[in-house]
Amino acid sequence: MSPPLPEPLHEPLERLQQLLELLSSRFPDYDEQELSRPLQPGGWSRRQILGHLLDSATNNYRRFVLCQLEPEPYRMVPYQQDGWVACGAYQTAPAAELLQLWTLYNRQLARLLAQLTPAALGHRCEFENGYTVTLGWVIEDYVVHLEYHIRQIIG
């Protein structure tokens, strides 16, 4: 039997699970044209937004681990989101593969979060501008970021 989750993690983990289910059920409804068309002039397509969420999962997984392992405060490395989306070639990637990869990565991320202790949630992380937050805050921010972009994708 696994230990109970720290109270601050119940809600973010529940929301993460809901978002995984929501996107998995709605994303396949879009045809290739809808997935590839930018949602606004000069913006990303639904496919590229999903790729961005994959990049976000990758970067945040690293943050969640290193914030626990590195001396405090862990200095978070920023990433160039437009460059990552371009390098990932998400616009031409098979949509089903992107969805599967994003889903699997976030399931692993949820496993990582589920084993965090209250002490780990209090570890300090520092942005490049010197702004310091806790790991718990970074986790909550990750879920809020997902909610924002999934709302964009499903309209």
Using 50, 70 and 90 to split pLDDT, how confident is the model at 3? very low
- Report, as an integer, the average pLDDT of 6-17: 84
Using 50, 70 and 90 to split pLDDT, how confident is the model at 9? confident
Assess if residue 1 is contained within a domain.
no
Q: How far, in whole angstroms, is CA 97 from its chain's centroid?
A: 17
Please, which residues have CB within 8 angstroms of residue 132's CB and are 6 or more apart in sequence?
Answer: 73, 124, 125, 126
Q: What is the pLDDT of residues 123-154, one digit of tens each?
A: 999 999 999 999 999 999 999 999 999 999 99
Q: Looking at the 3D structure of the chain, how many domains does it have?
A: 1
Domain that holds residue 117: 7-154
For 12-74, the DSSP string reads HHHHHHHHHHHHHHHGGGS-HHHHHSBSSTTS-BHHHHHHHHHHHHHHHHHHHHHHHHSSSSE
Q: Which residue has the higher pLDDT, 16 or 155?
A: 16
pLDDT value at 45 more than 80: yes
Other Cβ atoms less than 10 A from the Cβ of 78: the count is 9
Task: Report the alpha-carbon distance of residue 15 to residue 36 in Å, rounded.
Answer: 27
Q: What is the pLDDT of residues 24-44, one digit of tens each?
A: 999 999 999 999 999 999 999
Please, is 101 exposed, middle or buried when counting C-beta atoms within 10 Å of its C-beta (0-12, 13-18, 19+)?
Answer: middle
Predicted confidence at residue 1, as pLDDT, reads 45
Other Cβ atoms less than 10 A from the Cβ of 36: the count is 15
Determine how β-strand 124-126 pairs with β-strand 74-75: parallel
CATH of residue 146's domain is 1.20.120.450
Q: Which of 73, 57, 53 is nearest to 127 (CA)?
A: 73
Assess if residue 47 is contained within a domain.
yes
Q: What is the pLDDT of residues 48-105, one digit of tens each?
A: 999 999 999 999 999 999 999 999 999 999 999 999 999 999 999 999 999 999 999 9
pLDDT value at 5 more than 50: no
